[in-house]
Structure 1
Amino acid sequence: MKTLRLLPLLVLSLATVQAQELEKITQPGAINGTVNITFNTRTRLTDDGKPQKGAKDVYEVALTVGKTTEFKGKVERQPLLTSKILGSVEQPGQYFYSLDLGVINPTNMTQKKTVGKWVGTVPIAADGTYELTGSNESKHRVSVDAIGRSPAFTDNFGGRLYGKGKKTGGAMSYVRRLQGKEVKIEVKNVDPMRFENVVIASGPAQSYPKCTVNGNLDFDYETGNWLTNGIRFHYSLNGKEYDDVVTGSIKWVEDPNRATNGKGQYEFNLRWNEDKNKPASTEADAFKSANDEEAFFSVDNSVPSLTGVVAYVDTMAKVNGEDSVTASKITYQLDANQLTKQQVMNFLKVWLLGIGPTNDE
């Protein structure tokens, strides 16, 4: 009889655990590491200035998330090549993913294990559409081995990402709430990178679930900034549904001597669920001035956010008579403020899906 009495309490206890909010972290370097790029398609050219057949851009990735998960390996980009006369495809446009997925022992940071891979081929259409499901020969997926108590699993990516290449007509407006006032900027020369029912594969741990992503991250050609009024993430974990809306900006700042030293950096100012987490306004807020571009890009740590710097040292060269970046050494130092590890992981996966468009000039 005692067991029967305890059963409802055990069920209630389990439901309470499932309903608990995910742990939030405030962590410098929640995303850190390096990405080194060699743009072979800009240096290995034919006589008519096109990339040579077989030339690929190579993105060497070594990034850590939440200090306990590592992505290490490379992504290669093969450009679409067509014949000059008939326009027939000589070489399909494709991305090739080959990233080792590692876990780091949080109690002993020197201990690492490779638990699986992020692999697959992503076809790219002539209009810049990424078919994230992958090709018939090589599905785009995360494959994790059975290690310790963790079971093996394979999970696929899906949906479409529309890369840079289609500029919008007319001005686009971007809005944020700051100090109780609405701050808005308008951008005239925008190229949207659009996520359409993008499915992010789960892993490497089961605590990072499958996630569906929709929305835009827009590139401003005049400033080099990225802007968004909302990238939407939907996922479920421990029996609970989660919806995150990421808003904000990624500002490009060039070193005064960039022409000679190749330096510049992206300053991240992304906010999670800003409308839900913004503090209540007071009477004094009506008298605060916050209606300019400087205020729009200012950091507000009163809401969950990802801030910090992605710093570039680019190698410049003349290509077809014009200045071009032929290689990049990139260092990541992005800080989480009251974010869950799932939120940080989801963003990094999306960022790696757009590794080509976000690094093109």
Structure 2
Amino acid sequence: MSKTRLISAVACLFAALAAPAALAQAPNRATTEIPADKAKVSGSIVVDYNTRSERSQSSQDVYDMGEIAIADLMLMRGSIARVPNSNVTYSIRFDVVNPQNPSQIAREVAILRGDLPIASGGRYNPEEGKLRLDIVKGNQVSSRFTGSIQGREVVKWWDVARRLKTASKEASKVYSRYVDGKVVSIQVKNPDPLRFERLGLASGPFSFLVESRVSGILDYDYELGNWLTDQTGVTFTYNIGEKVYSDKVTGSIRYVSENGEFTDSKGKKRKFTSYYDYNLRVNEPPVNKDNAFFGGDASQADSDAFFSASDQTKPGIYGRVYYLDSDTACKQVRDDTGAFKCVGPTRSEITYDLKPVGLTYQQLANWMKLELLVIGPFTDE
């Protein structure tokens, strides 16, 4: 056998071994805590908002995912095409890392593909678009996304002024969390929720990464641009063997608008114009309901304490997702004062620099799959 054919044969053998069905002998890896030195999410996405540009006639915004590395588990590459308020089309390829030898990577073992239709009321319906995760190497199987997401009511900044005026006349929602052993609360006027309604996340690309059901709410604060959870949180429920697991994610993703520079996972210096600061906890004890009634006057001190990510010892997801935005040739719309303003960036370079702490492989995979489904709302503003 020639050297080329031998290498090809070895590659094919590893692809088969790395495919989900062949890894069924290690089902407990799903509940294994990710080693601290491997616990990270890094990589980048470049978004061209063609629908916002005067120079483009395209009806689609395109998300080009260079490569997102998820711990020592898998890598995602590909593209997402989005027609705002209409449809999202996925073509994301998964490479998987050999758990016995992390230096070995099986390429394009699985593909996330299909559509995520958006109904007129803002509801995302993956079943209608046959959104699925297909295993295309080894034992080929297909797992579909099910359920729905009720999207935000307002997705354009020029509607926000009206929303805030309405919100000022409505009751505030109080959010509470433990900070240094104390309950800290803030109030948000009429937040806009993403509601996960029996959303089913497809299994894979490894067999030990099982299907999960998602329920709960992720609220958006128009005034400050933050994402928050209430005490209900966002809950992921799944079965491994005969055991049922239920993980609740609570906390915040705080928006910060400032210019700066950071070093990416490859040691390259990059600029940013804003970032999201992650402070999400997994299975944190709930705040006493009586204590949550007090405080929360939205003062700067309360707000700073609530969003503080100084304590990163508890199980959760921390770190930042950086944005480098540009608004070259952006379309113009009148704001509430009558002045013309840019509808938003026409291009964004998004860089992940997240650190999971104390999470299992299943827990991290669940969150990252969910982020893929809400990438539109996360990048609307």
Q: TM-score range by the shorter chain?
A: 0.7 to 0.9
Name the CA distance, whole Å, in 1 between partners of 2:38 and 2:105: 21
Alignment of 1:61-72 (within 5 A): 61=65, 62-72=67-77
Alignment match, 2:31:
22
Alignment match, 1:284:
none
2:242 is aligned with 1:239: yes
Name the CA distance, whole Å, in 1 between partners of 2:176 and 2:137: 46
Give the alignment's TM-score, normalised by structure 1.
0.78
Aligned-partner residue type, residue 76 of structure 1: A
Q: Deviations over 1:241-292 (max 9, x none)?
A: 100000000011111589xx761111100000001799xxxxxxxxxxxx82
Structure with more strand by fraction: 1
Aligned-partner residue type, residue 43 of structure 1: S
2:284 is aligned with 1:274: yes
**Cα gap change, 1:27/1:193 in structure 2, threshold over 3 Å: closer, same or farther?**
farther
Name the CA distance, whole Å, in 1 between partners of 2:259 and 2:115: 39
Worse-matched range after superposition: 31-40 or 172-181: 172-181
Alignment match, 2:192:
191
Aligned-partner residue type, residue 223 of structure 2: E
Name the CA distance, whole Å, in 1 between partners of 2:131 and 2:180: 43
2:322 is aligned with 1:328: no
Aligned partners of 1:28 and 1:335 also within 8 Å? no
- Compute the displacement of 1:120 (Å): 0.5
Give the alignment's TM-score, normalised by structure 2.
0.74
Name the CA distance, whole Å, in 1 between partners of 2:325 and 2:282: 31
**Cα gap change, 1:313/1:203 in structure 2, threshold over 3 Å: closer, same or farther?**
same
- Compute the displacement of 1:23 (Å): 1.4
Alignment of 1:1-361 (within 5 A): 22-25=31-34, 26-27=36-37, 30-43=40-53, 55-61=59-65, 62-80=67-85, 93-106=86-99, 107-109=101-103, 111-135=105-129, 139-147=130-138, 151-165=139-153, 169-229=170-230, 230-256=233-259, 263-275=273-285, 292-299=302-309, 300-317=311-328, 318-320=330-332, 321-323=340-342, 324-361=344-381
Q: Deviations over 1:41-81 (max 9, x none)?
A: 11158xxxxx95x520011122111232011111111235x
Alignment match, 1:83:
none
Larger Rg: 1
- Compute the displacement of 1:29 (Å): 5.4
CA RMSD of aligned residues (A): 2.6
Name the CA distance, whole Å, in 2 between partners of 1:197 and 1:233: 10
Task: Count how many residue pairs are aligned between Structure 1 and Structure 2.
Answer: 307
Q: Deviations over 1:6-61 (max 9, x none)?
A: xxxxxxxxxxx98999211234652111111000111158xxxxx95x52001112
Name the CA distance, whole Å, in 2 between partners of 1:114 and 1:257: 35
Name the CA distance, whole Å, in 2 between partners of 1:223 and 1:68: 34
SS at match of 2:209: coil
Q: Structure 2: any 5+ residue segments left out of the alignment?
A: 1-25, 155-162, 262-270, 289-300, 333-339
Aligned-partner residue type, residue 105 of structure 1: N
Alignment match, 1:84:
none
- Compute the displacement of 1:319 (Å): 1.7
Aligned partners of 1:312 and 1:330 also within 8 Å? yes
**Cα gap change, 1:188/1:140 in structure 2, threshold over 3 Å: closer, same or farther?**
same
SS at match of 2:204: coil
- Compute the displacement of 1:239 (Å): 2.4
Name the CA distance, whole Å, in 2 between partners of 1:20 and 1:159: 27
Name the CA distance, whole Å, in 2 between partners of 1:32 and 1:359: 18
Q: Structure 1: any 5+ residue segments left out of the alignment?
A: 1-16, 46-50, 81-92, 279-290
